[in-house]
Every structure is written in structure tokens, then in C-alpha cells.
Structure 1
Amino acid sequence: MLTIVIGVASALVLSTYRRRPEIGIMRAMGAGRWFVMVVFVSQGALIGLMGGLLGAAAGYFVLLTFPGRESLGPGQSGLPIDISQGAYGLAIFLTTLGAIIASILPARAAARLDPITAIGQ
């Protein structure tokens, strides 16, 4: 979770910095602070959802290459992996939730930008 929060927060801080003129134009055209926050939190949620889906799919397909618990006989060694017991939905949910939480501070910073200062940069 810590890796997710740091990764998403750093990506959104960079995105906020690069998109300052766009944010200024949105604010100058009447977009409220709440709208700017929703845009950035939505971006964080999509990053988390896509990362969770891709990570869960990659983990599932990697685990398919290992022999299952039922295929190991007595005296055979291997990883006791049961793919059906994976908590893939929980992992995707927690990844998305962590990304949403991580996106709140950069979204608040973007919403606080003064339109005139942001456009002038």
C-alpha cells in the first residue's frame, strides 16, 4: 500500500505541475475548486484501478505456471499454491482505494492554484 500511495502521489504531483496552465484556464473559465479536485481524484482512481487489474491478472497468469496443490503427490515438493483462494477482488479494491487516498493531496494543491498565476507560467 505504501508503494501505491507514493507512486500515485508522485505521478499526480508531476501531472499537477505540468498541467498548471490547463488548470488555470479551467479555473478562469469558471470551473470550481471542487471540479478540479474531482478531475485529479478521478485520474488517481483510474490509475489505481488499472494498476490493480493489471497486477491481479499478471499475478494470476504467473501462478498458472506453478503446479497446483492437488497435483503434488506425497513426497513431492513445490509451492502449495491454490489460485482459487486468491483475494484478487480485495487486492484490486485496496489498490484503487490507496490510489484515491494518495490523489487527494495533489488534487487539493491543484484546486488551490490561482488562475492568473497558473496561466502566466
Structure 2
Amino acid sequence: MTFTKEQIKYLESLPAVEHATATRITYADAFKRQCLERYSSSASPTALFREAGLDPKLVGYKRIERSFARWRNRHDVPQYSPDAATAKIDSSPFADDLPNMAGADPRDLLIARQLHRIDELERELADLLRVTAV
């Protein structure tokens, strides 16, 4: 993947990027540290890049994947574990509200947890909109 001059200019305007060329992106150390910290808390690498203004369609999903692999190896951060995610879901304050999915695929548990959280946020937003409309 080759970046255009406009894309390079955009990338270099981001705090997460230290330097960019037509074929490479050098990320700021603070961005790498923040990503690894949040990744340890099961944040998605793609979501972390998006939040930093680094759209995966621009930088490429493979580049994100390889960057995280390199950073994890360099800083001895274990790769995401579905078992750890399941443990986090089971101990979450919302676990009692989730359907009984014993023995289910951990990804299904994650999806159920996320759907529950989205539903909760939508209800909260609707309440806020009602309050501000009054």
C-alpha cells in the first residue's frame, strides 16, 4: 500500500503518528504504550487505531495487525485470550442480565455482552433526549 502526499500530510497531523512516508508509518511511543495498555484490557486494535484517527481502510488492517504483533513481542504483552475475555464477562456487573450461555463460544459471549451494553446505552440516550426535550 502506498500513501499519497495528502494521506501522508493527514497521517503526520495526527498525534499518534511520529512520521509517515509513502510506504511506512512510524507511530509515537505514547500511542504505542496507550494501545498496549488498552489492548491488555481487551480493547480491539482496530478500534484503538480508529479512535486515533487511523482508519483501517487508510492504513490497512494487516498493518494494524503486524504493528500490534511487533509491539506485543517487544513489550512481552500476551496475545488476546478468549478464555480471559470469558472470565471478564462472567465477572462483569452485567453478567446476571445476560442469558445463560454456559459452554458457548467465547466470541458469542462477547457479542451478547456488547449487545447488552448497546441496549443499555440506547436506553440511557433516550432518557437524556427526553430530559433535554422538556
Q: Classify the TM-score, shorter chain.
A: 0.3 to 0.5
Question: Which has the larger share of strand?
Answer: 2
Larger Rg: 1
TM, length-normalised to structure 2: 0.32
Structure ranking higher on relative contact order (CA contacts 8 Å, 6+ apart): 1
TM, length-normalised to structure 1: 0.34
Question: Which has the larger share of helix?
Answer: 1
